[in-house]
Structure formats: structure tokens, C-alpha cells
Amino acid sequence: MADTVTGMVLKKPTAVIYYSSRIRYNIRAMRTVLLLLISNVFMTFAWYGHLRFTDKPLWIVIAASWGIALFEYCFQVPANRIGHTQFTTAQLKIMQEVITLAVFAGFSVIYLREAFRWNYLIAFLLILGAVYFMFKP
């Protein structure tokens, strides 16, 4: 059985161990992305959710934002801890930025009811180019 990545021919037991470790690696990567996604939803609400409540006193929205941010950290810290076992900190950061922009784009359109303009899409695509180069060996 040939490995599709390296082209090496692997014996059966080795192949099982190799592929089970790759599955664990992929599950850990997906767990990192999922935790970053959840943390970004909380972060976006903490930072921008108050913009719909301009009639509330500033101290109330600051306290509410801090309360929401606590939940963001409850997902962000484990995401970085788990993710750092397989990604560099630079890779984690660029992943975080892409997720942040994707969550924010949806948030601004759905929650804040702002228009999504064509230049936002171009900017987002350029950032995806940065991701390509960040993960290139």
C-alpha cells in the first residue's frame, strides 16, 4: 500500500499506525479550528455587539462586553494550547485572523445589517493568499 503523500510503500501494521496518527492529527486540527470559531463568535459580540445598544450607558456595555469576553477566552486559550502542538504560532495567528474576518463579515451583515461590498471580498481573498504562503513548507 503506497502512501499518497510520501509515495512510500507501507506494510500493513505500519500503514494502520501511520494513518491512525494522521487521523488524530486532523481531528486535533479540526478541534483547533472549531474552538477558534466559537471563540471568535464570542469575541465579535464582545467587541461589536454593543453597537446596536447605543441608548445604554457606556459602563453597562463595557461590563457586558467583559462578561462575553470571558467566554471567548474559555475557548481561545484551549484552541491555542491544542493548536500549538501541530502549528507554529504564526500559523495559529493567520488562522485566527481568517476566522475572525469570516465571522465578522457574517456578523456585520446579519446582526448589524450592514452591506457587504465587493472590495471586502477582494481584501478577504488577498488575506487567503497570505494563508497559502503561511502554510507553504
DSSP per position, 93-109: HHHHHHHHHHHHHHHHH
0.85 cut: is pTM over it? no
Contacts of 87 (CB under 8 A, 6+ apart): 29, 32, 95
The verdict on residue 2 lying in a domain is no
Residue 98 CB neighbours (<10 A): 19
| Tally of domains within the chain | 1
The verdict on residue 97 lying in a domain is yes
- What is the domain range of residue 131? 36-135
pLDDT of residue 128: 86
pLDDT of residue 136: 82
pLDDT of residue 16: 47
Interior/surface letters 52-63, b for 16+ CB within 10 angstroms, e for the rest: eeeeeeeeebee
The verdict on residue 43 lying in a domain is yes
pLDDT of residue 25: 63
The verdict on residue 113 lying in a domain is yes
The verdict on residue 6 lying in a domain is no
First to last CA, the chain: 25
pLDDT of residue 137: 79
Measured distance CA(101)–CA(51) in Å, rounded: 18
What is the grid cell recorded at 91? Answer: 500559523
pLDDT in tens, the chain (137 residues): 444 555 545 455 554 455 556 666 677 788 999 999 999 999 999 999 999 999 999 999 999 999 999 999 999 999 999 999 989 999 999 899 999 989 999 999 999 999 989 998 898 889 888 888 888 87
The verdict on residue 131 lying in a domain is yes
